[in-house]
Structure 1
Amino acid sequence: MTAVPIVLAERADLAFADAPGSGPLVDRFGRVHRDLRISLTDRCSLRCTYCMPEQGNEWLARQSILGTVEIERVARIAASLGISTFRLTGGEPLLRRDLEEVIGRLSALETPDGPVEIAMTTNAIGLDERLPRLIDAGLGRLNISVDTIRADRFSDLTRRDRLGDVLAGIRAASESALTPLKLNAVAMRGVNDDELADLVQFAIDHGAQMRFIEQMPLDAGHTWDRARMVTRDEILEALAERWELTAVPGRGGAPAESWRLDGSAHTVGVIASVTAPFCGACDRVRLTADGQMRNCLFSNSEFDLVPILRGGGSDADIEDLLRRCIWKKLPGHAINDPSFLQPARGMNAIGG
């Protein structure tokens, strides 16, 4: 069950060429981009140990955070170029008071091939109260982060006693029309690696798919230790003790590999960004809360939209920046390479 990453060869005639001025958003390796992750804030209602310190965080200045109209403008141009999925992230997107308006504006956009889809990744705190309004605004899919369902462990891991709020949000989502519901957990050695099968069963009980994520070097404190990471193969070995796993074909550009459980309709996913990267099929690009375009989660370079958005730039200028950003995307993130450098920003500031 070893995944083989796609190896991309860089064409010499394209390496230093200018980005194409028309057509889809494509990079030098032929990957067409259809997914824009939009971070709405770097702030969060939790303080997960693998993401940020409990105290002393340096938050983005409020005036630097993109407003609703600015987000809509970038998204409208992206949609016209073929971006069909917009995923709202953070930090915690539910901390945006104008979240319903953001969703409403984005859900009204169309690509040349039809309507867009709006998804959101959240920790679900407060979701139960806002979910009906979010759905009415146009929210179509949900990913909810829950690394443990044990109260004491949750408090230790997130430094907040909020598991009850998270579970209330998950219940509301499971009873809604938003399907398929996905639950995400970062697998961590000595933290929740003894709970993986229980998390899968919890997801099944709520009509959701559990997805495990290999811990990545994206913490704000730069304390990531590969030795503490539970690998894809270890996750599968643990689950195979309870279920027979059958690989689901047709992954496409999805970040998660999926396995069917005991031949049933229930599946589990694994996002193995470290040990089995899926860079060869990546179709994602990111917009940070403060207006920086990033062509890879692990990129050490950004493309600044703020001077265009707030300095009288044209839509053509935004399109040109989007095309240049994606054209300069590297073949992969190279986490396994000794020369890998962790991004200066933590995950909360990049957007999950």
Structure 2
Amino acid sequence: MPLIDPFDRHIEYLRVSVTDRCNYRCGYCMPEQGVHPEGHHSEYLTFDELTRIITAFVTLGVKKVRITGGEPLVRKGIPGFVSQISPLKGLKEIALSTNAHHLEKHAVALKEAGLHRANISIDSLKPKLFKEITRGGDLEKVLAGVKAGIDAGLNPMKFNMVVMKGTNDVEIEDMIDFGIEHGVEVRFIETMPIGPAGVSMMDQHYPKKKILQRVRDHVGKDLIPCTSQSHDGPANNFEIQDTQAKIGVISAVSDHFCESCNRVRLTATGILALCLGQEDSVDLKTPLREGISDEDLQALIVKSMKKKPERHFFNENVHNIEFRQMVSLGG
């Protein structure tokens, strides 16, 4: 029984947040004091519970799982969790989104457990600015994690850079050069009005059109749209003519990509979020802990797809969608 939403989109991609904690405090993602300043953390799903939900999704046709956070590697036991889900028949790809601060320590174990590749959230290659954006991050440690990931075979590795006007937009060209030199695919992301943090930073929004023009001007070559979108998700990806380098732009505000959306999100607390920009969600933790059968869990997931909206409304409701924190949704 495949997962199909009301708009005939086949859901084949599940993003799984394992924690809403993070060792960094990027302004567009979470407040400076964190999401649990009082020190109390919501009860997370166990790895066995997460595995059971993922198994249900894979049985229903999901082919790709991305492990996210917060910062997933601040939760102990992620390599073991990967090893739990990697044998699932029908699961073609397991990816990780990370800030890479802890990746040097875990890269080999993650690869051996069955992780295929990693996306690195990195918004600056300047140590001082990187520390300011992340409110304390260590660029040297992140780049060591990047190297360890590449050496371990977590490829194709991608950099995700949120472009912020007046903050790091001057580094678009530096990121391109780094990607070409190190074989990393660089993806530039528009700021999105998700949660109070994201909404407050929309005055720094830097649009796709300007980003692509900067890339063209810098490389002096044409950008050729990629024909294969197997790893791309919502990104518009391009090859730089006469090179092996690729760049991408995720432009949720300039050009919503909702018509091809094939993904849903599971939060660390067991909430199935059907859209980043809408409130529609379904509680999976409660029925799971009340003893729901595997068959009924699958039926609940199938039924949940009826709530997936046709599109988000970032442009229309930029000041009215503060109901979620990006850090809790896993991006």
Instruction: Tell me the CA shift for residue 133 of structure 1.
Output: 0.6
Residue 260 of structure 2 corresponds to which residue in structure 1? 281
| Identity rate, percent | 36
Distance 1:105 1:54, change over 3 A: same
* Local SS of the residue matching 1:64: coil
Read off the aligned partner of 1:116 and give its amino acid letter.
Answer: K
Counterpart-to-counterpart distance in 2, 1:191 and 1:69: 41
Give the count of matched residue pairs.
327
Q: Distance in 2 between matches of 1:63 and 1:69?
A: 17
Tell me if structure 2 keeps the 8 A contact 1:295–1:326.
Answer: yes
* Residue 132 (structure 2) aligns with: 156
**211, 214, 219: which one pairs with 2:190?**
214
CA contact (8 A) 1:212 1:269 kept: yes
The 5-angstrom pairing of residues 11-160 of structure 1 reads 23-55=1-33, 57-58=35-36, 62=41, 64-111=43-90, 115-160=91-136
Deviation at 1:47, TM superposition (A): 0.5
CA distance in 2, matches of 1:278, 1:56: 30
Per mean C-alpha deviation after superposition, the further-off stretch among 303-312 and 82-91 is: 303-312
Provide the residue aligned with 1:323 in structure 2. 302
8 Å CA contact 2:28, 2:201 repeated in 1: no
SS of residue in 2 equivalent to 1:166 = helix
- In the other structure, the counterpart of 2:224 is 247
Pairwise CA distance, 1:254: 2.8
In 2 relative to 1, CA 295–193 (structure 1 residues): closer, same or farther, beyond 3 Å? same
Contact 2:3–2:60, Cα closer than 8 Å, also in 1: yes
Q: Kindly provide the amino acid, as one letter, of the partner of residue 171 in structure 1.
A: K
Kindly provide the amino acid, as one letter, of the partner of residue 107 in structure 1: S
Separation in 2, partners of 1:129, 1:108: 23
Relative to structure 1, the CA distance from residue 220 to residue 102 in structure 2 (aligned partners, 3 Å threshold; closer, same or farther) is farther
Q: CA deviation at 1:317?
A: 2.5
* Aligned partners of 2:234 and 2:250 also within 8 Å: yes
CA deviation vs aligned residue, 1:307-331 (integer Å, no higher than 9, x gap): 1111111112321221122222111
Q: Is the CA contact (8 Å cut-off) linking 2:16 and 2:330 kept in structure 1? A: yes
Q: How does 1:187-266 map to 2 (within 5 A)?
A: 187-221=163-197, 223-243=199-219, 244-250=221-227, 254-266=233-245
Seen in structure 2, the aligned counterparts of structure 1 residues 56 and 109 have a Cα distance that, compared at 3 Å, is: closer
Higher mean displacement: 64-73 or 308-317: 308-317
For normalisation by structure 1, the TM-score amounts to: 0.88
Q: Could you tell me whether the CA contact under 8 Å between 2:117 and 2:153 is conserved in 1?
A: no
Match of 1:303 in 2: 282
- Kept in 2, the 8 Å contact 1:41–1:349? The answer is yes
Query: What secondary structure, in the 3-state scheme, does the structure 2 residue paired with 1:175 have?
Result: helix
> For residue 312 of structure 2, what is the aligned residue in structure 1?
333
Q: Distance in 1 between matches of 2:146 and 2:135?
A: 20
The code of the aligned residue for 2:254 comes to: T
Distance 1:105 1:152 in 2: 39
User: CA separation in 2, counterparts of 1:217 and 1:180?
Assistant: 29
Query: What's the offset of the Cα at 1:256?
Result: 0.9
Determine the C-alpha separation between the residues in 2 that align with 1:260 and 1:229. Answer: 24
Q: Which amino acid aligns with 2:102?
A: G
Q: Provide the rounded CA distance (Å) in 1 between the counterparts of 2:34 and 2:150.
A: 36
How far, CA to CA, are the matches of 1:99 and 1:134 in structure 2? 8
| Alpha-carbon shift at residue 123 of structure 1 (Å) | 0.2
Cα offset, 1:61, TM superposition: 5.1
**Structure whose residues are more often helix by fraction:** 2
CA gap 1:289/1:88 in 2 versus in 1, 3 angstroms: same
Q: Which residue of 1 aligns with 2:162?
A: 186
SS in structure 2 opposite 1:275? coil
Provide the rounded CA distance (Å) in 2 between the counterparts of 1:260 and 1:56: 38
| Conserved 8 A contact 1:187-1:193 | yes
- Judge conservation of contact 1:218–1:224 (CA < 8 Å) in 2: no
Normalized against structure 2, the TM-score is what? Answer: 0.94
